[in-house]
Structures are given as C-alpha cells and as structure tokens.
Structure 1
Amino acid sequence: METTIQTNISSEVTLTDPSTDIVLGAIYGIIGCLGILGNLLVCTVFLMRRKVFSSTTNLLILNQSTIDLADSIFYLVLRFGPQLSEQGDNIWGELACRIWFSEYVIWSLFVASTVNLLFVSLERYFAICHAVKHRKIFTTRRANIGRVVVWIIGFSYQSYWAALHRLEDGKCYAHWPTPTIQKIGGVFFFACEYLIPLIIMSFSYANIVIMLRRKSKRDNKEVNTFQRAKRNVTVTLCVVFLSYSVCWTPTEIAYLLYNLGGDYDFESVLHRIFTALVLGNMCVNPIIYVFKYERFQVELRRIFCKHNRIGDPSLGGGSTVRTVAGGGHNSDGEGPSTVQ
C-alpha cells in the first residue's frame, strides 16, 4: 500500500519530464483542496443537523469524512508545507523520518478509513439482511465506540511502517530485515489491509443487492418514505464502496508485486497516477453524497438556501417532513426526528 521510498528500488530511476511533475503536482494539490472542502462540508452539515443524522449509519459516515478531512490536511502539509529534511542524523531527524517522511500518519488514516468502510458495510448488511440482530447489535453507544476503535486500529496497525524506516545520510528509507521477510510481510499486509476487507465488503453489498431485489419483487405496492430512505442510504454506500475498490486496487496490486520481488519504479508516471487515484478517494465521497444521498441533499439545501421552510418544494419534492413514531433513532440511515 505505501508509496514512499523503499530500499529495493531499482538503481535506474526514471526521470519524469518537468512539465509532467508540474501537472501532477497541480492535480495532487487540487485533490487535497477538494478533500478538505468536501469533507469539511459533510462534517458541517452532519454536525449542524445532529438530530437528523444521529443513526449508527450516519455516525460512521461522519467518522469517514472526519478521517478523510484529516488525511487531506496532513497530505497538503506534507507535500507543500515546510520541509524538515535538514534535521540531520540525530534523534529529532530520526523521529521526523519515522513519523513524518515515512508518511506514517497519512497511511494510518488511510487504514482507519478502510476499517471504517468495513464497519459501514457490516452495519448495512445487518440492517438490510438481519434487521432484528441489527437493532440489538448496532446501538448508538457501540457506534461511538467503533468510531474511536477505527482510529486506534489505523495508528496501531501502521506502526510497523514507522518501525521499518531509518535515517541514513540525510535520507529516509524503509529497511526490511531480509527479502524473505519483505515477501511474507507484503503478502500479510496486502491481505489484512486490502484483500480481507474487500472480500467482506463485497460479500456484504452482494447480499444487500440480492435482498433488496427480492423485496422489490415481493412488495408490489408503493414503497413508503421510510423504505425509500433505507434503500437510498444503502445504495449511496454501495457507490462509496465501488469508488474505494477502483481507487485502491491498482496501487495495492502494484505494491504487492513489488514486495514479492518485482521491478517497480516509484518515480514513474504510472506510479504517480496510481497515487492520484488513492488520493482521489479522499475527496470523492462528498461528491457521492451530494448526488446520491437524498437526506444529505435536503439538509444541505436547508442550511445554505434562503427558502428553508418545511414543505418547500425545493427541499424534498413538496412533501412535508413527518416524525418517526417513538422518537428514537432508526437503524436505516436517517435521524430520530425526520424521514425523507
């Protein structure tokens, strides 16, 4: 997964054209800025409408945007902020190498993002396929605990990457003890951070799609607002999962092949394109919410549009907002007081 400098990089470094570097640098900067603006917007809407977005699903979506926001900020600071390469071969230089130049923080947040997406997929799977179990397992308290656990897992898991790095002659490198350990580690980390989560998420959403199709064939009558909201948030998160798969698959496979002994140029244009895809995953989710998540669209209009009256046709097709019986949070992506 990691794309920083490795010890086994071929001695023949491909020199890219300066204009290519400028274009890719501009793309990286745009992606980072979009990641900050988009995820900040999502966090703002969710926090300003806490009662609406208080379900377990939305708490995890908020956590996802918080992680991506932090990742976007750290990425821009690392790429375009002050450089710390003049620390020298001392304890502070060693710490800068292990924590900063190794990109430990950025990749820890990427792992946390993957774990959070895994939690979201499991939550949706139980909500659609095992509703009774879902109500027992996925409580608000457990969702909040899960949000914290995601961050802990990301930084704990990725600590191996900081441990591998060393500062030599003012340059920061990752040193695997032996090629054999690198191969074993490459396969292990590929499975843990990509393959296993991808299999679980694919299983979850495949079963969700099958279940929704069965229900649509069985229920010929008109779908009510609650069922519509339930399906909409699920479809939205399916799209989020698909975008994750597209953005991460190329770089994960390339890094696995590299750890297994294959030649891979970390200075090539192809690698930089793979990196751009990974970074793009930080900013794509807010775009998906804007175009797919109906509840988010409604609340976004209510916050930023002048006409924010309940029943305004521009805020939800002209239908008024009704209260969910019981006043408690529902488990299908909508808050305690409103359903679209």
Structure 2
Amino acid sequence: MPPAMAASTCAAITLNLFRVLQILVALFGVIGNILVLIVIFQARDVLKNQTNFLIANQSAADLFSSLQLIVFQVECFTKWPSLVPGSIWSKLYCFFWQQRLLLFGSYAISTFNLTILSLERYFAVVHPQMYLARSRKRLFAFMGLGTWLLGPIMQITFIVVHVYYKDRECHVRQSAPSIGVAIFLWDFFIPVGVMTFCFIKVFHKFRTIAKIQGNWNTESAQGAPGASFVRSSGFPSPSTAEGSNSGRTVTGNTLQVPTVYQPNFPRRFEKSTARSLQRRNASLTILVVYIAYVVCWTPNQFGFLQYNLGGSIDWGGLFYQIELIMASCNSGINVIIYALRFKTFQTGIKKMFKRQDS
C-alpha cells in the first residue's frame, strides 16, 4: 500500500468492531513477538544459528509494526493534542507518521527478511557446502540487518517525490499508476517470486534425498546384520584390461567392484539422517510462514494494484476491512507457527513459565 493512501483510511473506517479487532490482533503480535525474542536470545546461540538470527530479526520487524498499528488505531478514535503548525514536529509528523512511512516500512522489512530466510533455507539445503563456509553464513546475518535499510526504499521514494509540506499543511501530489505498480512489484511480487523459487528447489532436493535414503534402507536390509555395504557397481572399461591385484575383475566391458562392508556406516548414516530431518523441519516451518504471508497479504496487495491502475476502493466497506485484518494478522500469526513447529520455542516457553511459578 502506498503510504499516502493510509492517511485517508483512518477517517474512512467507521466500523468500530474492526478497529477493536485490529487492536487485539496487534496486541497479540506485540506479546507473541516479545516472547519469541526472549526465547531465542535465552538460547544463547542466536548469533551462531543463522535461522534463529533471521527469525529474531523477523520478530523484531513484526513487533515494530504491531506497536505502530496499536498507536495508529488508538489515534483514529481518540483526540490527540494538535501540533504547532509549521514546527519541526509538525513536519516530521507529516512525513513519517501521517503518511505511515514507519508502519509500511516495517511491513516491507518483514517481507524482505522472510525472503532472506527463504534464501538461507535454499542454500542450506540445496548448496550445503557453500552454506557452511563462514563467510556465507555471516553474509546472511548482514543481509538480515540490511533489510532495515533496503525494505522501505519504495516507501521513502514515494514520500520524497510526492509528499510536501506547504502553508503549514501536509500535501500529497497525485502519483502516476507506474508508482503504485512499482511498489507492488518491489514489496510483494518480486519477494514472493524469489520465495516460491527457493521452496520449489528445497523440496525437490528433499525428494531426491528421500529417494537415496530409501535405496540405502532397502540395500541395508539385504546386507549383513549390523553392517552396511556399497553394492557392486559397473562402469565402462577398456575391453583389453585384465583383473588387477585389488580384487576387481573385468568381465567384458564392465569392471566389477566387490561388495565393501563398512561396520561404522550406520552410525554416520543416522547422524546424516538426523541433520537432514532437522533441515527439513526448519524448512517446513519457514514454508508455513511463507504460505501465511501470501494468504494474509495477497488480497490487500492486489486490491491496491487495481486501485493504482484506475480502479476504486470502498475505504469503509466490509471487504476492505477484512483485507486490513488479514494483513494485520500476519505480524502475529508467525508466533503460532513457531509454537506449533519449533521444539526450541516450546521448551523455552515452558522454562519461562516454570521460573515464574518457582
């Protein structure tokens, strides 16, 4: 949503029920995201685990937007002391608060951080060797922090170009449809496209790993008890070659490699499987967060796209109110996903309440 449009929605919202719902949703987002941040930082590995660091960054952005949403809604139906016209505070209010720069900027930060999370999962699963390099891991941390500068670029650009303060009043120039389309592409379409690509590749990789593990399980069941083996394999060899002292024999054009038993392989295989399951669970959790984002924001984003292309919006209508509620829910719904999917979060919450009881 272009920031300038948000100013007109406050006066247009006439359904007090929806205002109350937005405040309740935002309150849940504040409490929930504070809990997420406390649990993650108490785990003491937030700087070592890239996924945890990015989740903490996500919760910080969602917390910031939830706090602003509460203040915004309270401002809509209460009378605040008016600022002195022409003062520096009046100008700051015009550019930063009245046009909702900080609110929609924090929404954009959350979107871009989720995109970085998806890329982090992509490299962790699809390109693990590249991901394990320390420089690459630090890169994701810097990218997560960089979303606070990169995310709000379109909102800042809109305000710089179209908002001005004159005659002690805040004014907004009429923007071209291309500006609204650019905001839609930057804030929604491109991030969703990147995230969709990442998760398609991630789960294609998981399917490949599952097939390989299934083959190992089948072959292990046919081998010696307590041991694992590499089956005989064949590959082209010169027909003139003869057997060597290594125990390999040549039959026709195929080099036969004898079965090799590896007594310690099951333990290594179990560790590899455990790591694979851990990566899969983390990726599934971020996938659910991505799906929730798409569900919550798609109606709002496409609604404003058609508005910027010449359509109309009933600012006080039921459909628009539902769009706002859905978009607001996205800042708090991630907390529910973490509570259902992350054992670390569940354990941290239990420890927190046990300390309070004692």
Give the TM-score, by structure 1 length. Answer: 0.78
- When Rg is computed on C-alpha atoms for both structures, the one with the higher figure is 2
Structure 2, unaligned runs of 5 or more: 218-269
Q: In structure 1, what is the equivalent of residue 26 of structure 2?
A: 32
**Selected match of 1:118 from 84, 105, 115:** 115
**Match of 1:119, as an amino acid?**
I
In 2, the alpha carbon distance for the partners of 1:3 and 1:144 equals 28
Distance in 1 (CA, whole Å) between partners of 2:113 and 2:84 is 37
- Give the aligned partner of residue 336 of structure 2: 287
Q: Deviation digits for residues 185-219 of structure 1, max 9, x if unmatched?
A: 12222111111111110011111122112212221
Residues 204 and 170 of structure 1, relative CA distance in 2, 3 Å threshold:
same
Count of residues paired in the alignment: 295
Question: What letter matches 1:268 in structure 2?
Answer: G
Q: Hey, what's the Cα distance between the residues in 2 that align with 1:172 and 1:277? A: 29
Q: Select which of 280, 284, 289 maps to 1:235.
A: 284
What's 2:91 paired with?
94
Check 1:137–1:176 CA distance in 2 against 1; reply closer, same or farther (3 A cut).
farther
In 2: Cα distance, 1:136 partner to 1:188 partner: 35
Q: 1:239 to 1:15 in 2, by over 3 A?
A: closer
Instruction: Report the Cα offset of residue 137 of structure 1.
Output: 6.9
Preserved contact between residue 115 and residue 195 of structure 2 (Cα < 8 Å): yes
CA distance in 2, matches of 1:269, 1:79: 17
The CA distance in 1 between the partners of 2:159 and 2:87, in whole Å, is 14
Distance 1:173 1:246, change over 3 A: farther
1:257 maps to which residue? 306
1:125 counterpart letter in structure 2: Y
Q: Percent identity?
A: 27
2:133 to 133, 136, 140: 136
CA drift of 1:76 comes to 1.1
- Displacement of 1:155: 3.6
Query: Which one scores higher on RCO, CA 8 angstroms, separation ≥ 6?
Result: 1
Residue identity in the other structure for 2:211 = K
Question: Structure 2 CA distance, aligned partners of 1:268 and 1:210?
Answer: 43
* Comparing 85-94 and 39-48, the one that deviates more: 85-94
1:125 deviates by 0.6
Q: Deviations over 1:163-201 (max 9, x none)?
A: 323468987553235xxxx21112222111111111110
Kindly tell me: are residues 170 and 288 of structure 1, through their superposed partners in 2, closer, same or farther at Cα, counting changes over 3 Å? farther
Q: Secondary structure at the match of 1:90?
A: coil
Residue-by-residue CA offset, 1:58-104 (whole Å, 9 max, x unaligned): 11011000111111112212221576573364244332121111110
Q: Is 1:152 aligned to 2:149, yes or no?
A: yes
Name the structure 2 match of 1:174: 172
SS at match of 2:5: coil
Q: Secondary structure at the match of 1:87?
A: coil
How far apart, in 1, do the equivalents of 2:46 and 2:148 lie? 25
Instruction: Give the aligned CA root-mean-square deviation in angstroms.
Output: 2.8
The question of whether the paired residues in 2 share the 8 Å contact of 1:5 and 1:266 is answered with no
1:275 and 2:324 are equivalent in the alignment:
yes
Q: Structure 2 residue aligned with 1:60, among 54, 61, 65?
A: 54
Determine helix, strand or coil for the equivalent of 2:211.
Answer: helix
The answer to whether the 8 Å contact 2:33/2:332 transfers is: yes
Q: State how far apart, in whole Å, the 2-side matches of 1:4 and 1:283 are.
A: 25
1:293: how far off? 1.8
Aligned equivalents of 2:143, 2:314: Cα separation in 1: 38
Q: Is this contact kept in 2: 1:122–1:204, CA < 8 A?
A: yes
